Chain A
Amino acid sequence: MTNDNAVLIKVEDLKMHFPIYRGVIRRQVGSVRAVDGVSFQIHSGETLGLVGESGCGKSTTGRTILQLYKPTAGKVFYEDVELTALHSEPMRMMRKNIQMIFQDPYASLNPRMTIRDIIAEPLVAFGTASGKEIDDRVRKLMGLVKLDPDFMLRYPHEFSGGQRQRIGIARAMANNPTFVVCDEPISALDVSIQAQVINLFEDLQKELNLTYLFIAHDLSMVRHISDRVAVMYLGIIVELADRNEIYANPVHPYTKALLSAIPVADPEFYETRKRIVLEGDVPSPVNPPSGCRFRTRCPIAEDFCAQSRPEFKEIAPGHFVECFKWDHPDNQRR
């Protein structure tokens, strides 16, 4: 399912380090390497799923791409424009095209604003509409996300979690963006609501021709919505492939462990499948292991894994892995 469309987003060796200050005079003694050299591309119209455990840096990646944090190193391109090189005002203008949906539906809406004002805010910020036009646009947007427009003048606290998330989506769609970063948009919702919201995401993508970076930690949900999937661990991408390929033929030991942990509602399959349990805890992002980062928990690690970081290698068309032993007999494909 490799996309032949134009590349919309290009990320080159993106790094985001947060400094740590200690000591009497607050010197910088180190940094949290939340994102430590990440590169990928997203094609127009596709959904790239970004998965990994908590703290691996996926949310930070999303926010850094949108320049909500200023990257420590690396470049981000939107079409031909290098976002990382833009000053604040030109970057602000770009925000018509690139948007974000937040994880916490309770915190992402200003409790003191009516949802009409919340959804209209991007319109006002760019003067895209004014006066009565605004109300019309807001109504349309609310209809788009299947909210009753008559509730326009209510406040966020009067809505449920799923509805607030829709309000956030409506807000994001206000200026017709092309690229949307979805930062774990359904993690905070009840399971029964999650499916509805995901369906909404898919419908909108078809209707408005959107490109998504979908960040999540629920692998089965990611499987449903993504065209390609990237797996992150400790600030780097360890595997990137088409959705079907990665679920059928995972190569990186970490990916395999993650996939083996997905609950499946089939008791027989449950019995027979090989469950990979990782030992140890995630190392601290302040001091990642030398060489291959995963080696401290990897079931097939060897001495040479500590010496240098493996290359992010394309081992099959569109299938990238960062592992020395990608074709090693120990590391059999499932």
Chain B
Amino acid sequence: MTESTPTPTGDNRLLAEATSDRKISWFERTLGPDNYRIVKGLFKTPASIVGFILIVLFILIAVFAPVIAPPVGNDPMKIPRDGFGGKPKDPGTAWKKNVPEVPFWYEPLTGKTEWVHLLGTAQGQYDIFYGIIWGTRTAFQTGILVVMATVLIGVILGSIAAYYGGWVDNLIMRLTDIFMTLPYIMMALIFSAVLTPVLGRSLLPPLIAMISFGWMGYARIIRSDILSIKERDFVMAAHVSGVKNGRILFKHILPNAIFPTLVLASLGIGDVVLGFAALSFLGIGTEVGYADWGQVLSFSRNWITSLDKYWYIVVFPGITLTLFVMGWNLVGDAMRDVLDPRMRGKT
């Protein structure tokens, strides 16, 4: 280019004054304008920082589970049992049978050389501490899996409905309405119960059940976002520029439509884990003794009258579950605030 830069006039002068010194970091450039705003938004309020820290904390626990709670036996997802006694033991009671190895952090932190049940045991002598630590993995697995699957289904259906319109749109929307009429927990419960004899007792029935009844929100949001973006001028401009339809959908419409969906999805992980815990609590879900917070909580059902005595069966997994969900909710809220003008009214 051999032409010299024209002397700024009018708008250009304002631009030169206002933005020529603005350093756009490499970071901002790689992420893109929207993503960058979101990441920045994540650290704006103390609430969102707390949420972020919580999530990081849980990730660390999940990753370092083998170090924090060394597995006993072949399957770390089976909570180790100190014998088969029926009465729960208080936190701090010595661990007699089936004792795991002592990890490096144990002695400096607790001053003891032998394992105790740090958070107590439930009936059947399931160690609560182990249940909570390894349950973190279950939480992430189920949460991420279900959210990814439901978002995928919802986005596909919503996009097809918005793109084709007409009777296809109608059909898909009626289907969504029908599914939305059914009460989520009850249907997940029932479907899970139906699938258990067919698939055996594992993670699979509740997962499939939750996925089958959890996609509707995403379908609706994507559809309405695509419909509104379709009318925006820049889509028409792409049309005029000669861009082919498929490319318009993928390069213009979807990237702009995906954001409210992402916000919903991040809140969704919290809800999924809550729902999964509820299913386990009700007795539908994983087998007894599987490392899952809802599972551990379900042990408390036998001790309702003496809950004050066996409070630890409720309190420890309960707090863990709450903190996990809270972390995701805080992050989701922060993201929603970043996109605030567009998200108002959509809870």
Q: Which residues of A contact B (CB under 8 A)?
A: 63, 66, 68, 92-93, 95-96, 99-100, 102-104, 107-112, 121-122, 125-126, 136, 139-140, 143, 146-151, 153-155, 157-163, 166, 168, 171-172, 174-175, 192-193, 196
Among B3, B16, B33, B247, max chain A CB count under 10 A is at B33
| In-complex Cβ contact of B256 among A104, A111, A139, A153 (8 A) | A111
* 0/1 interface trace, chain B 203-243, chain A, CB 8 Å (1 if under): 00000000000000000000000000000111011111111
Closest chain-B Cβ to A103's Cβ sits at a distance in Å of 8
Among A96, A155, A193, max chain B CB count under 10 A is at A155
Within 8 Å CB of A95, what residues of B? 240-242
B1 at the interface (CB under 8 A from A): yes
A112/B233 contact (C-beta < 8 A), A95-B240, A95-B241 known: no
Within 8 Å CB of A163, what residues of B? 11-12, 15
B101 at the interface (CB under 8 A from A): no
Within 8 Å CB of B247, what residues of A? 125
A162/B237 contact (C-beta < 8 A), A96-B242, A125-B242 known: no
Within 8 Å CB of B33, what residues of A? 111-112, 155, 157
By the criterion CB–CB under 8 Å, are B234 and A159 in contact?
A: no
By the criterion CB–CB under 8 Å, are B242 and A112 in contact?
A: no
B111 at the interface (CB under 8 A from A): no
B171 at the interface (CB under 8 A from A): no
Given contacts A93-B242, A103-B233, A174-B241, list 14 more A-B pairs with CB under 8 A. Answer: A66-B240, A92-B244, A95-B241, A108-B233, A109-B237, A110-B256, A111-B256, A112-B34, A125-B243, A146-B9, A153-B29, A160-B15, A196-B9, A196-B11
B63 at the interface (CB under 8 A from A): no
Give 6 closest A-B pairs by Cβ, nearest first.
A95-B242, A107-B233, A108-B233, A162-B11, A122-B241, A125-B242
How many B residues, CB 8 Å from partner?
35
Closest chain-B Cβ to A194's Cβ sits at a distance in Å of 11
Within 8 Å CB of B12, what residues of A? 146-148, 163
Interface residues of B in 1-22 (CB under 8 A from A): 1, 3, 5-6, 8-12, 14-16, 19, 22
Identify the closest chain B residue to A120 (Cβ): B241
B255 at the interface (CB under 8 A from A): yes
- List, sorted by A's number, 26 A–B pairs whose CB atoms are closer than 8 Å: A92-B244, A93-B242, A96-B242, A99-B240, A100-B240, A107-B232, A108-B233, A108-B236, A109-B237, A110-B252, A111-B33, A111-B34, A112-B32, A121-B238, A122-B241, A125-B242, A136-B1, A139-B1, A146-B12, A148-B16, A151-B15, A153-B29, A158-B19, A163-B15, A193-B11, A196-B10
Dominant secondary structure at the B interface: helix
Among B15, B22, B32, max chain A CB count under 10 A is at B15
Within 8 Å CB of B243, what residues of A? 121-122, 125
Identify the closest chain B residue to A165 (Cβ): B11
Within 8 Å CB of A193, what residues of B? 10-11
Closest chain-B Cβ to A129's Cβ sits at a distance in Å of 14
Identify the closest chain A residue to B34 (Cβ): A112
By the criterion CB–CB under 8 Å, are A110 and B241 in contact?
A: no
By the criterion CB–CB under 8 Å, are A143 and B11 in contact?
A: no
Closest chain-A Cβ to B251's Cβ sits at a distance in Å of 8
Within 8 Å CB of B244, what residues of A? 92, 125
A174 to B12, CA, bound (A): 21
A68/B239 contact (C-beta < 8 A), A148-B8, A153-B29 known: yes
| In-complex Cβ contact of A107 among B6, B19, B24, B234 (8 A) | B234
Within 8 Å CB of A109, what residues of B? 234, 237
A149/B1 contact (C-beta < 8 A), A111-B33, A160-B11, A163-B12 known: yes
